């Protein structure tokens, strides 16, 4: 018989441990989800990353940045293969991710010491609604634990912003970061500075746009976009400010190509508007149209890692 506990009850049973926050982003159209796990130390997330990739389950890609572990996963159930892991060496896996009644259920399996991570530590994280122990709720030693963790369903909202400053005052990346930090309707995930073509004739100084990614509850999406639009309107110094809005985990290939082209080419406003219509991006004139070029490029470059912050020549001899 299973046992259902709240995060507070898990803390009471096992003491305060190390998981800080758990966020689940879902993109049903792509059949994918993203699980973002924040910890108080780097060691656990590195160990978990390696073990979860080995065991596979529904995990397709893992990335570690400091004390944050991000996993791209398939929606559904996967086969868990611990490989060399035994009760002596341990192991950990994400077995499934399923959507039920506007919530996300993730099922985790842990062996030996790794059972503490999924059976006692992760269930305490901010964002967890409840945890159901599908096996014995004991953890550690030579035990095996299987738990189902329920979290709210979020979607990824990416907002691109450009042309908010003048040669005398303002900086788009600063406005964007303030927007992210003050957003009341969503959780800020990432802030990016997007380097664009420095030879653009109507640039201010660095010719950079800014992108922001948020985790948003579906019922708060419209409020988050509206709030962002008004925040930019109230804080811009330019009469040509635009924002671009995209919802989803996969940036369309055409948008990625456009973002890359914006680093070395001079692009036209009508090209940005045509591509936005084709790829489902909403372009919003805040005070003018010209910023739509850089705002759309910010979305196109958003998932390109360090390349988003540089120019093509910065990477000709680099291995990243």
Write the pLDDT tens digit of every residue in 107-124.
Answer: 999 887 788 899 999 999
**Separation between Cα atoms, residue 281 and residue 272, nearest integer Å:** 10
Q: What's the rounded Cα separation, in Å, for the pair 196 and 274? A: 20
Task: Identify the pLDDT of residue 84.
Answer: 61
Q: What is the pLDDT at residue 200?
A: 67
94: alpha, beta or left? (left if phi > 0; alpha if psi -120 to 50) = beta
Residue-wise pLDDT for 68-78, tens only, equals: 999 999 999 99
∠142-148-154 over CA atoms, to 5°?
135
Q: Are strands 144-162 and 19-27 parallel, antiparallel or unpaired?
A: parallel
Class for domain 163-314, per CATH? alpha beta
- Whether 299 and 253 have beta carbons less than 8 Å apart is answered as no
Cβ-Cβ contacts under 8 Å for 276 (sequence gap 6 or more)? 244, 282, 283, 292, 296
139 contacts: CB under 8 Å, gap ≥ 6: 14, 110, 115, 116, 119, 120, 145
> Which stretches in the chain have pLDDT values below 70?
1, 83-90, 137, 141-142, 200-206, 317-320
Candidates 263, 258, 283; CA nearest to 273 is 283
Predicted confidence at residue 220, as pLDDT, reads 98
Q: Where in the chain is the domain with CATH 3.30.70.2200?
A: 163-314
- pLDDT confidence of residue 141: 64
Helix, strand, coil percent values for the chain (each to nearest 5): 30, 35, 35
CB 160 within 8 A of CB 295: yes
Cα atoms in the Cβ-side hemisphere of radius 13 Å centred on 154? 26
pLDDT of residue 320: 46
Please tell me the predicted confidence (pLDDT) of residue 289. Answer: 93
């Amino acid at each position: 018989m299973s046992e259902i506990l709240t995060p507070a009850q898990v803390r009471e049973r096992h003491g305060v441990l190390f998981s800080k926050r758990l966020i689940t982003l879902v993109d049903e159209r792509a059949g994918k989800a993203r699980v973002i796990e924040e910890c108080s130390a780097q060691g656990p997330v590195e160990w978990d990353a390696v073990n979860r990739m080995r065991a596979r389950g529904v995990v397709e890609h893992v990335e570690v940045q400091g004390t944050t572990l991000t996993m791209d996963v398939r929606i559904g159930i996967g086969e868990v293969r611990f490989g060399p892991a035994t009760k002596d060496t341990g192991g950990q896996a994400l077995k499934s991710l399923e959507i039920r009644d506007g919530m996300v259920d993730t099922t985790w399996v842990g062996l030996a010491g790794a059972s503490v991570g999924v059976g006692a530590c992760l269930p305490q994280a901010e964002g967890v609604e409840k945890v159901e122990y599908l096996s014995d709720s004991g953890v550690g030693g030579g035990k095996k634990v299987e738990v189902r963790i329920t979290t709210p369903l979020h979607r990824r909202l990416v907002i691109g912003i450009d042309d908010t400053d003048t040669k005398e005052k303002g900086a788009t990346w600063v406005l964007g970061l303030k927007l992210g930090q003050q957003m009341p309707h969503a959780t800020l995930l990432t802030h990016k500075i997007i380097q664009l073509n420095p030879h653009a004739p109507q640039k201010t100084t660095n010719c950079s746009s800014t992108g922001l990614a948020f985790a948003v509850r579906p019922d708060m999406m419209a409020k988050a976009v509206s709030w962002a639009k008004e925040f930019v309107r109230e804080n811009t110094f330019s009469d040509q400010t635009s924002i671009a809005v995209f919802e989803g985990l996969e940036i369309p290939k055409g948008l990625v190509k456009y973002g890359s082209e914006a680093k070395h080419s001079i692009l036209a406003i009508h090209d940005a508007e045509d591509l936005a219509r084709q790829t489902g991006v909403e372009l919003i004139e805040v005070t003018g149209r010209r910023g739509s070029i850089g705002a759309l490029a910010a979305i196109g470059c958003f998932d390109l890692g360090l390349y988003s912050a540089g120019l093509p020549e910065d990477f000709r001899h680099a291995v990243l």
